[in-house]
Amino acid sequence: MTQRTWIAAACAAVALAVAPAASGAKIVCWKDKAGKVVGCGDTVPPEYQESATKELDKRGMTRNTTESAQEVSRQRTQSEEAAKLKADSERHAAEQKRQDSALIATYASEQEIEGKRDRDLQAIDLQLGQLRISLKNSLERQKDVKARVDVAEKNKKPVDALKDEGSRAAEQTSKFEQAIAAKEKEKDEIRARYAEYKKRYAELKGAPNVAPASGRK
């Protein structure tokens, strides 16, 4: 007889022995962290208060069970995570539906999407043109200041003010370069966004029952 079988039998024997002496008394068996029954009695020992238990009737039959505090916590966490995932999925579906309706209401064809993309890109190109002119002027200013610093140093004249001017020009040049890089990135994002618009628009036009949103984007 294994230890587990012996304990189960002992618990049943305890239930049978105690039942006649106390009408309506219950016998509770408690488990260790591994889920094995390690003892039975009329009350659960303090050290096993958070353990899983099962209640036996006078014939040794299981009538009620409880999970361990650890298992209850795990199940609660699992349930909360499932509820959050469901809520997130529902929010995403609602937002996608709103965007789809707005997309259909905004554009009459894929060509209109392309036209809006091109206009957005042209606006960025105008800004880039201005930034590149400013960058060119800043680079020329840096070059001029450096030449004046070289002449002043050659003639042993003070150059601190000129060097400060050169630092400011270099800082301005760096700002223009960063702004140009940001605009180029924005152009890539515009292309990607309108490519997604076109793809989704084609999918929606092939799908029935897409309700248009009121108004235009």
Decide if pLDDT at 215 tops 50: no
Q: Which of 110, 120, 126, 124 is nearest to 195 (CA)?
A: 110
**Residue 145 neighbours by CB under 8 Å, 6+ apart:** 162, 165, 166, 169
Confidence bin at 61 (pLDDT 50/70/90): low
Give the pLDDT score at 30.
74
Average pLDDT of the chain, as a whole number: 79
Higher pLDDT, 38 or 187: 187
For the residues 33-40, what does the mean pLDDT come to? 72
- We find that the CATH architecture of domain 81-205 is Orthogonal Bundle (1.10)
Decide if pLDDT at 183 tops 70: yes
For the residues 193-216, what does the mean pLDDT come to? 74
Question: What are the tens digits of pLDDT across the range 67-81?
Answer: 656 666 777 787 888
Task: Please report how many Cα atoms fall inside a 13 Å half-sphere around the Cα of residue 46, on the Cβ side.
Answer: 0
Q: Where are the alpha helices (DSSP H) in 19-159?
A: 69-106, 110-154
Domain residue ranges in the chain: 3-66, 81-205
Question: What are the tens digits of pLDDT across the range 111-153?
Answer: 999 999 999 999 999 999 999 999 999 999 999 988 888 888 8
Task: Please report how many Cα atoms fall inside a 13 Å half-sphere around the Cα of residue 19, on the Cβ side.
Answer: 15
